[in-house]
Structure 1
Amino acid sequence: MTVLPTPDASGRRVIIDPITRIEGHLRIEINVDDRNVIRNAVSVGTMWRGLENILKDRDPRDAWAFAQRVCGVCTGIHALASLRSVEDALAIKIPENANLIRNIMTLTLYAQDHLVHFYHLHALDWVDVVSALRADPAATSTLAQSISSWPKSSPGYFKDIQARIAKFVGSGQLGPFRNGYWGHPGYKLPAEANLMAVAHYLEALEFQREMVKIHTVFGGKNPHPHWVVGGVPSAINVHNTGAVGAINMERLNLVVEIARRTQEFITQVYVPDLLTIASFYKDWVQWGGGLSSMNLMSYGEFPGRANDTSNDNMGMPRGAIIGGDLSRIHEVDLKDPSHIQEFVDHSWYKYPDEGKGLHPFDGITECDFRLGPAGKIDKDFLTQVDETAKYSYVKAPRFKGEAMEVGPLARLVIGYAAGRADIRQLVDGALKKLDVPLSALFSTLGRTAARGLEAQWAADRLVTTVNDLIANIRNGDINTCATEKWEPSSWPATAKGAGYCEAPRGALGHWVVIKDGRIANYQCVVPTTWNASPRDAKGKIGTYEAALMGTPMADPSRPLEVLRTIHSFDPCLACATHLYGPDGEPIVDVKVV
C-alpha cells in the first residue's frame, strides 16, 4: 500500500492551463522542489455543470435525452445511466433483447473510446512524432512484423507514412501533431517504434469511425444515439429487408462484421503497440500511482441477464477496495447515504451546511465562485488558486469518507481481486510479457495498460454478445421494449431511483427523484468528478492530485510528465463541469495566455 505524502506548497509554482488532448477544460497547478520533484498538486475544473438544474420539472421519460448531452465523447453512457435511474425508480423490467443491445452499445463504446484515447489523446505523451523522420522504413517493417501479423507492415507502407509526416513538418504546421514537446528528454522510443505508432495513429483515426456504425444500427446515429425508457428503440424485423429503421439480417450481419474487425484491430494493432511502447517505459511503474494501490471503486457493468443487478451477473464486478486491502471487496450501494456523499468545502458550490456532505438524492447544484486569500486574478486571468479555500468547479465525492480512483484500472483490479478468470488471464498475460510484478499496475503505466487490456476484453465480449442477440432472435424473441409502465398514471406519487453505469472512464451514477410525474431532483456523479476531485473537509487530496505527487520532472517548463499521468485517466471535464448562467451566457471568461 502507498502512503501519500503531505502536500507541500513551497517551492516553484507551475501552472498548466489548459491541459489539452482531453474533453473539456482542466487546469493543473503544481509545486516542485529544487530537484524538480512534484510536492504539491492542485486539480482545478474551470467550468460549471448545470444540467441537473435544466432537468428539474421535466418528464422523467425524457431525462436520458438531456443527460446524454453531458458529453458527446462518452456518447450514450449518460443516457443509459439515466434510463436505469428512471427504471429503478418506477420498477420497470426490460426485455432480454434490450439488455443485450444495451451491452452491445456499451461494449462498442468501450472499444472505440479506449482506441481513440490511446492513439489520439495519450500516445503522443510517449511517441515523438518528429523522431519518426529518422526511422528506417525497412527496420520499422521488421519491428511491426515481429509483434503482430497485421498486414499493413511493408517497408513501402512505412516509407509512405514517413513522407506524409515530412510534409507536415516541412510545411511548418504539424496539423494534429502540433504543440507537442518533440525532442523532450522524456521520450525513449527508437525512431522505428515512433514511425510505427504514428502509422497506427492514422489507421485508428480512420477505423474508429467504422466502429460506431454499430451505434447507428441500434440507436439511429452517433454521437447521441436514441434510447427509450423500458428498453431500446430498435424494432426487430428480420424477414423484411425494406423495413425502415428496423433491425433485419442485413443490419445484423453488418454488426457481426464490424465486431469482428474491431476485435481484429485491437488484437493485432492496439494491444501489440501498447505492450511494445510500455516495454521502453518500464521506469514509469514508479510514478503516477496515487490512490490506485489504496482506494478503487467500480459500480459494475454488463449484466448477463436482464433485470438482475447481482454481482455474479455482472461482466465487470461491482465493489470497492479501501486502504489497499485486496483481500476484501466492499459492497457499494448507490442508495445508501453513508456510502456516497459529495462535499463542496473546496468547490465553487454552496450548501446550506458546507461542513456536511450530501447524498445525491439530496444533492444541490448552486454555483458559488469565490477565491481564497492566496488566489490571484490579473486582468481577468486566473493566475493562481488557493487550495486552502474553494478552487474548483468539480465537487468532492467520497465513498465512506474516502477519495477513490475509478476507471479501467479500478475495474481490472477489482475483477482480478474477485477472482474473475477472464480478467486474471488478461492481466497476468500482459504482466508476464512485460516482465513486471502485479504492483506495476498501480502506476501511470499500469493505468494506461489497463485501458488497453480492457479494450481487448470488450472487443472479445462484443463478438460474443452480438452472437447471443442473434441466437435469441432465432429462438423467436423479438421484444425490445417493455411499455406496461409507460403512462404516468401507473407511477407512484413519489419515487427515487439510482442508475449505475461503468463509463469508459469509470463509475457513473445518475440519481432521480420523481414527484407527481415530474423530476423533482436530478444529480450526476461522473467518473471525472471522482478522479478530478479537489480536497475535502478533512484535507484528503483528490485522485489526480495524489497521482502527481512525487513525480520527477526533466523540465518543468515542458511538463510532459504531468500530461502523461493526467492523460492516463482520460479526463472528461465536460462530464464533470459546465459553465452557463440562467441567461445562457458564460459566468466566467477565462483567458489562456
Structure 2
Amino acid sequence: MAETIVVDPITRIEGHLRIEAVLDNGVIRQASSSGTMVRGIEIILRGRDPRDAWAFAQRICGVCTLVHGIASVRSVEDALHYPIPANAQLIRNLMIAAQFVHDHVMHFYHLHALDWVDVVSALRADPQKTSELAQSLSSYPQSSPGYFKDVQAKLSRFVASGQLGIFANGYWGNPLYKLPPEANLMAVAHYLDALAWQREVVRLHTVFGGKNPHPNFVVGGTPSAISVGPSSQASNSGTALNMNGLAIVQDVIRKMQAFVEQVYLPDTLAIAGYYKDWFKKGEGVGNFLTYGEFPSEGKSIDDLSSLMIPRGIIVDRDLTKVQEVDLRAPEQIQEFVSHSWYDYSTGKNAGLHPFQGQTNLHYTGPKPPYEHLDSEQSYSWLKSPRWKNKVMEVGPLARVLMMYATGNKPARELVGMALSKLDLPTEALFSTMGRTAARTLESKLIVDEMQAWYDQLMANIRAGELETFNEALWEPSSWPAEATGVGFTEAPRGALAHWIVIKNGVIDNYQAVVPSTWNAGPRDTLGQDGPYEAALRGTELADPKQPLEILRTIHSFDPCLACAVHVTDPNGEELLQINVT
C-alpha cells in the first residue's frame, strides 16, 4: 500500500529543503526534492560594475563564506584574460583550503554526526572506558577519564533541565543507532571540541581577507598587500599582511592538521565501522563531475594540468575513464526548468547554457503554498543542471573519486588505508557512508597540502617577491566592448561556477550554477531524477514517523539550499510560510 511522507523542512542544513517520498511497503518508490526558499542575486547584478560583483555574489550563502567570491572574481578575470600574481594564487589556495576543512569538520560534527550518534545514550557511558576507546584511536590530548566525565555531567544537566538545547528534536533511542554509549560520549565531546576549534581556524580568513564571514577579495589578486617591515611599522599600513599575521596563519594550519589527524579522521573511521551496511545504501546516479581546484606552486587556475583536484567527468562508476569538461561549450552544461517554478522564453522544456541563462520572474504556473508537491509539474525553486543531458553528482565523493581515478598517489594511499581498515571494496564508496568518508579523506588530503602552499608563499616573500595584485587591466578603458567569462572553483559541497557577460563595462548577464543545484535539483525534461532523488529511491524505512534513513542520505550530500535557489516573486508577495513547532 502506497503512502506519502513529507520531511519539511529538512533540518541541520543551510536553507530550506522539502523531501516528499512515496512508499510501497515501507520502501521509497519515488522521492521529490524541493528547494522552498528563493534568491535573486543574478538580477541584482545586472548593470553593475563587474569588479563589484564578488561582494554581492558572495552573499549568496553565509556558510560557504568565500567560494562565491572566488568564483565571481575568477569569472571577471577569465573574461578580461587578467592574470594574477603567484602570491595571490597561493593566498587564494590557503583561503579556499581553510574553507574546505572548516566546513567539513563543522558539517560532520554539528550537522551530520547526529544522524549516527545517539546523544542521550552518552549518559549511560563509562568515562573510563570512553577514555580507553579514545586513546586507542589517536593521541588526541583531551582524552582523559576526567574530561569525558565533565562532558557527561554537562550533558546530564541539559537533560535534567528538560531542555536538550542544541541537541533537541533528535530521534534519540531509535534502534537504527548502533554506537555503544562510550562511542556516543566520545563523539559528543568532540562535537563540543569542534565548536571551540572552529573559532580559531577562521582567523586565517581574517588575516588574508580582513574578516569572516565574507572575507574581502579583489579582481586581479588579493587585497592583502605584504609588508616585511618591523611589526610596529607594519601596523601603520592598514590592512597590510605582516609577519605577525603570517605567524597566525602558520599556527592555524598546525591546529587544522592536528584536529583532522587526531579527531576527525579517527572518529569517521570508528563510526563508519559500526555502520558498514550504509556503504551499500544511497548511491544515486553513479555519474560524477568536478571542475578542479588548487593550482600547484602558485600557477594559474587555468593551468588545468597543475590542479590538485582534476577537472573531469566519471560516468557509470567507470574509474578507468575520465571525460573532459568544457565550461564554455553550449552543448555540455545546461540548466533545465521543466519541473521548476519558473519559465524560459525559449520554452519550458528547453535547456540553456549559463551564458544564455535566464532568471525569469514571470512564471505563471502553480506556486507554493502546497499541500503536496505536484511532481508531474513544477515543484522546486531549483533548476536542473545537466552535462550532455546526464545527471551529475558533485562534492567530496566526486573529487576523491577523480583524484583516485587520475592516479593521485596520496589519494590512492589514503583511500586504500580507509577501505583496508574497514575491510571494504572500492565500490563501497558509491554510497551514503562513502560520501561521508570521502569528505573526511578529502580534508586530510587538503590540509596536508596547506603547509606546502604556506612554505612557498614564505619563500617568495623571503626572495623579495611581494606582489599580490595586478593593476594592468583594472580600468574599464582597457576592456573590450563585449566579453564573456566563467569562474570556477570547487566549493566544499561540489563544483561551482559563475558565468558572466560584460557589455560596455557593465554586467549584461550573470548566472551561478552551484553544487546544491546539481545535487538537489528536481527531475528534468527526460524524467531523470536529481541526485538526491535517485539516492533515496529504494531506501527502506524502519519507521516512517522517524525517517532517519532520509536524513542520513540527504545530509551525506551536505545540502546548502541558500546557494541553490534562484528567484523571487516580482511583486514582493509572500509565497509561503514555514511554521516550525
Query: What is the TM-score of this pair, normalised by structure 1?
Result: 0.95
When residues 182 and 370 of structure 1 are mapped into structure 2, their CA distance, relative to the original with a 3 A threshold, is farther
* 2:332 counterpart residue number: 339
Which one of the candidate residues 255, 268, 277 is aligned to 2:271?
A: 277
Which one of the candidate residues 225, 236, 242 is aligned to 2:226?
A: 236
Contact 2:339 2:375 in 1 (8 A): yes
Farther off after superposition, 414-423 or 511-520 = 414-423
When residues 357 and 430 of structure 1 are mapped into structure 2, their CA distance, relative to the original with a 3 A threshold, is same
**Local SS of the residue matching 2:189:** helix
Which one of the candidate residues 574, 577, 580 is aligned to 2:562?
A: 574
Which one of the candidate residues 250, 253, 261 is aligned to 1:256?
A: 250
**For 1:372-410, what per-residue CA distance to the aligned partner results, in whole angstroms no more than 9, with x for missing partners?**
6xx9x7xxx522011111110000000011010000000
**2:443 matched to 1:433?**
no
**2:20 matched to 1:32?**
no
Which one of the candidate residues 390, 393, 398 is aligned to 1:405?
A: 393
Contact 2:21 2:30 in 1 (8 A): yes
Contact 1:348 1:367 in 2 (8 A): no
Following superposition, the deviation at residue 587 of structure 1 comes to 3.7
Farther off after superposition, 278-287 or 242-251 = 242-251
**2:123 matched to 1:133?**
yes
Which one of the candidate residues 135, 143, 162 is aligned to 1:153?
A: 143
* 2:163 counterpart residue number: 173
CA–CA distance in 2 between the matches of 1:162 and 1:217? 36
CA–CA distance in 2 between the matches of 1:577 and 1:340? 18
* 2:506 counterpart residue number: 518
Following superposition, the deviation at residue 240 of structure 1 comes to 3.3
CA–CA distance in 2 between the matches of 1:385 and 1:577? 17
**Local SS of the residue matching 1:284:** helix
Following superposition, the deviation at residue 238 of structure 1 comes to 1.7
Q: Mark the runs of 5 or more structure 1 residues left unpaired by the alignment.
A: 1-9
**2:487 matched to 1:493?**
no
Which one of the candidate residues 460, 463, 480 is aligned to 2:468?
A: 480
Which one of the candidate residues 549, 562, 578 is aligned to 1:561?
A: 549
**2:7 matched to 1:19?**
no
* 1:297 counterpart residue number: 289
CA–CA distance in 1 between the matches of 2:573 and 2:215? 28
**2:350 matched to 1:356?**
yes
Contact 2:382 2:566 in 1 (8 A): no
* 1:328 counterpart residue number: 321
* 2:48 counterpart residue number: 58
Contact 1:48 1:367 in 2 (8 A): no
Farther off after superposition, 260-269 or 460-469 = 460-469
Farther off after superposition, 322-331 or 581-590 = 581-590
**For 1:406-436, what per-residue CA distance to the aligned partner results, in whole angstroms no more than 9, with x for missing partners?**
0000001011111111211111111111111
CA–CA distance in 2 between the matches of 1:501 and 1:199? 34
* 1:246 counterpart residue number: 240
Following superposition, the deviation at residue 590 of structure 1 comes to 4.0
Which one of the candidate residues 444, 468, 480 is aligned to 2:456?
A: 468
CA–CA distance in 2 between the matches of 1:369 and 1:184? 43
**2:70 matched to 1:80?**
yes
CA–CA distance in 1 between the matches of 2:546 and 2:567? 29
CA–CA distance in 2 between the matches of 1:332 and 1:578? 24
When residues 426 and 586 of structure 1 are mapped into structure 2, their CA distance, relative to the original with a 3 A threshold, is farther
CA–CA distance in 2 between the matches of 1:60 and 1:240? 37
Farther off after superposition, 412-421 or 137-146 = 412-421
For 2:551, the aligned partner's letter is L
Say how many residue pairs are matched: 575
**Local SS of the residue matching 2:370:** strand
For 2:426, the aligned partner's letter is L
Following superposition, the deviation at residue 155 of structure 1 comes to 0.6
Paired-residue identity, %: 58
Contact 2:361 2:569 in 1 (8 A): no
* 1:551 counterpart residue number: 539
CA–CA distance in 2 between the matches of 1:570 and 1:386? 25
**Local SS of the residue matching 2:351:** coil
Following superposition, the deviation at residue 323 of structure 1 comes to 2.4
**Local SS of the residue matching 2:393:** coil
**Local SS of the residue matching 1:383:** coil
CA–CA distance in 1 between the matches of 2:301 and 2:18? 40
Contact 1:56 1:519 in 2 (8 A): yes
**Local SS of the residue matching 1:384:** coil
When residues 585 and 259 of structure 1 are mapped into structure 2, their CA distance, relative to the original with a 3 A threshold, is farther
**2:315 matched to 1:307?**
no
When residues 93 and 323 of structure 1 are mapped into structure 2, their CA distance, relative to the original with a 3 A threshold, is same
Contact 2:292 2:489 in 1 (8 A): yes
Following superposition, the deviation at residue 74 of structure 1 comes to 0.6
Query: What is the TM-score of this pair, normalised by structure 2?
Result: 0.97
Following superposition, the deviation at residue 582 of structure 1 comes to 4.9
Farther off after superposition, 568-577 or 579-588 = 579-588
